[in-house]
Amino acid sequence: MTVTVHDCKLIDLPKISTRKGAITPIYGGEHVPFEIKRAYYLYDVPGGASRGGHAHLHLQQLVVSVMGAFDVVVDDGHEKKRFHLDRAYYGLYIPIMIWRELENFSSGGICLVLASAPYDPDDYIRDYDVFLTARRSSK
């Protein structure tokens, strides 16, 4: 079955509140539907800047705004959907073969990404026309 933007879902994460602050633990296979093989974070992103602009052939991700806010626009080549992420206790699950743009970063924002595989430049589709062709040929 081909994935669509409707497979991109906001996932509620646990929030443990203590008198000294809050903690959010995340387990692969429990809170996210994949085994976590890599974590990375985007930071020092200038306010208002955009990131992303690609799709992945095999990679699944959970994107969390652990500080500040940004928007994620997901696109399956047919339909687009915008998510505003501004809390550390939920994240956006992005399956394979979804084009994504991260937009409107607040200054000082930090975006945590949990990923299902190690970094692999060959897993990226960075050309939107190539993405559309790949989507159409997978139908």
**Residues 108-127: x/- map of binding to ligand TYD (CB under 6 A)?**
-----------x--------
The residue with its CB nearest to ligand TYD is: 119
# residues contacting ligand TYD (CB under 6 A): 5
Of 7 and 101, the one with the shorter C-beta distance to ligand TYD is: 101
Q: For 79, what's the count of Cα atoms within 13 Å in the CB-facing half-sphere?
A: 7
CB of 54 to ligand TYD, least distance (A): 6
54 tagged catalytic: yes
**How far is residue 107 from each of residues 42, 64, 82, 102, measured CA to CA in Å?**
12, 16, 20, 14
**Residues 36-65: x/- map of binding to ligand TYD (CB under 6 A)?**
----x----------xx-x-----------
CB of 116 to ligand TYD, least distance (A): 12
CB of 102 to ligand TYD, least distance (A): 7
Residues 6+ apart with CB under 8 A from 70: 45, 84, 85, 102, 103, 104, 105, 106, 109, 111
Alpha carbons 131 and 111: distance in angstroms, whole number: 24
CB of 33 to ligand TYD, least distance (A): 20
Residues 6+ apart with CB under 8 A from 37: 115, 116, 117, 118
Give the residues lining the site for ligand TYD (CB under 6 A).
40, 51-52, 54, 119
Which sequence positions are flagged as catalytic?
Answer: 54
